[in-house]
Structure 1
Amino acid sequence: MPRTNESQTAESFDVPQEVIDATLRAAAAQGVPAADVTLRDIALEAGISRSTLLRRLGGTRHTLDKALQAAGIASGARKPVRERAIEATADLISTQGLGTVTFERVASSAACSVPSLYVTFGGRDELLRAVFERYSPIVDVEALLAGPRGDLEDTVRRFYQLLVDALQREPRVLPALLAEVFARPGDANVQMVFQSVTPRLLAGVGSWLAEEAAAGHIREMPLLLLTQQMTSPIFLHFLLRPVTGLVHDIDLPTTDEAIETFTQAFLRVVALPSPSSGDGE
């Protein structure tokens, strides 16, 4: 069968009934919507090669989706498997903990197949890295430090805002991961995530702080300790904030007030006076 040309639309292309039937059988066998069945699996179900299947579809998966729609069959077209898996994993981590994340549970929550997760991510570690990339502040922090920046005070304040946004974002992946660190620091899953994140953190935040120290703006300290001096107080406050807010007779500061307080506190500890500030003394 010749391939479609520019004038032959998906609506006019005649998809063979056996292809539609094979799609529905494969979807039923995998327990997923027809839109999530790969062309490879459809071809296997139909007993033909993938290239032959593509020829029968006129060279595009879109013709199959249109044929299913015309037949009154909901293809279940939704977000790609990658997006659904990342969101489902984030929900699992937030509500049940990192240790509950298995491909079987993710596939069930994301309404996809376990093989599709292996095709998409290769393995569980890569899925967890993708989730942390999405729900941690690491990417936003790297963008902040790579782009035009204000002075030290402004950059510290903006950095804290990114941390707070990540800590308060739903699903609460970052607080759940930090809780796992304190509860099970020897857990292989926890170590995998933080072994992949710590070098990036030190490369970004650490390099920026090292530049500030070299310029004489802040005290020279070991980068790990300097980074922890910067992040630990605000992490602790916002991790405890949901519980602290339930205690009677405690007035929580607003988020902006907390960020400003921690910004000024960090600067008082590590910032050095500018050379001009000592003139005349």
Structure 2
Amino acid sequence: MDEDLVAAALVAAERHGKDVADVPLGAIAAAAGISRSTLIRRLGGSRAGLEEAVRQTGIDPGGRPPVRERAIEAAAVLIARDGLGAVTMDAVAVAADCSPTSLHATFGNRDGLLATMFDRYVPVPDLEALAADPPERIQDMVHAVYTALAEAFDREPRVLPAIFGDLFTRPDGTAARMLKANLPRMLDSLGAVLNAQIHAGRLRPLPLPLLIQLMIGPMAGHMLLRPVLQDALGDGLPPVRDVTQVFAEAFLRATAL
């Protein structure tokens, strides 16, 4: 296999943030400065030889998740293990076994990577799905919100507790910026659900930010402290499903009409 085709395949993979096996032949041809038909002819009609030549250079040509997925997972593991400050593009590139160039091509910058990762591990998408199809009974709606919060805090890697840890230590840091960016979505999703209950006469017409704080505050606090409580109390600590039920009932006693 010609070395110039191998080099072109690697360049195209970097530009597109993909493994060689996932890069279109047209992109490889463009990187090599030849037409797609010429590339196919030089490959003998199959890209298998090209991928094997790439493999012989010590680079895996494919068969793994895309760079985007590897980077999101790598960033999540770094945050959960070492905190938000550990997430640099270079550190994620090493952990995801890709190049910083491919990360920049995929996410733009560090904030773009973090925003994408946050969206996967914070409960906002779950709350948006709940707002799109809310349960009819207010009890079921409140319990569903608490369940979504509990699952988000307990999701491995434990990104959400690490985000709150950064928020408490640096109120003007990266976590604060990301949470502020997601706040409108949370207010829209929870606000739609709660306002519907207020208009139906089932909830007290409290200011929406306070009503949301009353709802999520106890569960967030419990889930942040739960690892410590578990070590201290062991079997004396109720399971999460029981905690969600207790807090849901307490919220309704405080706010329901």
Q: TM-score interval w.r.t. the shorter chain?
A: 0.7 to 0.9
Question: Which residue of 48, 51, 54 corresponds with 1:68?
Answer: 51
Query: Aligned letter for 2:116?
Result: A
Whether 1:210 aligns to 2:192 is: no
How far is the alpha carbon of 1:57 from its aligned partner?
Answer: 3.4
Deviation track 1:122-160 (CA, whole Å, cap 9, x = no partner) reads: 121111111011111111111111015231110111111
Q: Which residue of 2 aligns with 1:151?
A: 137
Provide the rounded CA distance (Å) in 2 between the counterparts of 1:144 and 1:198: 16
How far is the alpha carbon of 1:17 from its aligned partner?
Answer: 2.6
Question: Which residue of 228, 241, 248 corresponds with 1:256?
Answer: 241
Deviation track 1:158-210 (CA, whole Å, cap 9, x = no partner) reads: 111111111111100011101111121121x1232012110100011022212
Query: Aligned letter for 1:154?
Result: D
- Cα 1:155–1:65 shift into 2, 3 Å: farther
Query: Which structure carries more relative contact order (alpha carbon 8 Å, separation 6+)?
Result: 2
Checking the alignment, whether the CA contact within 8 Å between 2:6 and 2:54 is kept in structure 1 is: no
Deviation track 1:194-252 (CA, whole Å, cap 9, x = no partner) reads: 12110100011022212211221111111111101000101111111111111158710
Instruction: Give the number of the structure whose residues are more often helix, by fraction.
Output: 2
Instruction: Report the TM-score, using the length of structure 1 for normalisation.
Output: 0.78
Question: Which residue of 93, 97, 102 corresponds with 2:88?
Answer: 102
Provide the rounded CA distance (Å) in 2 between the counterparts of 1:125 and 1:40: 31
Q: Which residue of 2 aligns with 1:9?
A: none
Equivalenced residue count is 249
Query: Aligned letter for 1:54?
Result: R
Query: Aligned letter for 2:148?
Result: L
Question: Which residue of 179, 201, 207 corresponds with 2:186?
Answer: 201
Checking the alignment, whether the CA contact within 8 Å between 1:23 and 1:34 is kept in structure 2 is: no
- Cα 1:248–1:35 shift into 2, 3 Å: same
Instruction: Report the TM-score, using the length of structure 2 for normalisation.
Output: 0.84
Q: Which residue of 1 aligns with 2:39?
A: 57
Whether 1:164 aligns to 2:150 is: yes
Whether 1:237 aligns to 2:237 is: no
Whether 1:127 aligns to 2:109 is: no
Provide the rounded CA distance (Å) in 2 between the counterparts of 1:33 and 1:194: 29
- Cα 1:214–1:80 shift into 2, 3 Å: same
Q: Which residue of 1 aligns with 2:7?
A: 22
Whether 1:111 aligns to 2:97 is: yes
Provide the rounded CA distance (Å) in 1 between the counterparts of 2:88 and 2:243: 37
- Cα 1:95–1:21 shift into 2, 3 Å: same
| SS of aligned partner of 1:171 | coil
How far is the alpha carbon of 1:69 from its aligned partner?
Answer: 3.6
Identity across the alignment (%) = 40
Unaligned 5+ runs, structure 2: none
Q: Which residue of 2 aligns with 1:265?
A: 250
| SS of aligned partner of 2:144 | helix
Provide the rounded CA distance (Å) in 1 between the counterparts of 2:87 and 2:29: 31
Provide the rounded CA distance (Å) in 2 between the counterparts of 1:162 and 1:196: 20
Unaligned 5+ runs, structure 1: 1-15, 273-281
How far is the alpha carbon of 1:21 from its aligned partner?
Answer: 3.9
Greater Rg over alpha carbons, structure? 1
| SS of aligned partner of 2:232 | coil
Provide the rounded CA distance (Å) in 1 between the counterparts of 2:97 and 2:21: 9
| SS of aligned partner of 2:40 | coil
How far is the alpha carbon of 1:269 from its aligned partner?
Answer: 0.3
Provide the rounded CA distance (Å) in 2 between the counterparts of 1:225 and 1:167: 21
Query: Aligned letter for 1:192?
Result: R
Checking the alignment, whether the CA contact within 8 Å between 1:23 and 1:37 is kept in structure 2 is: no
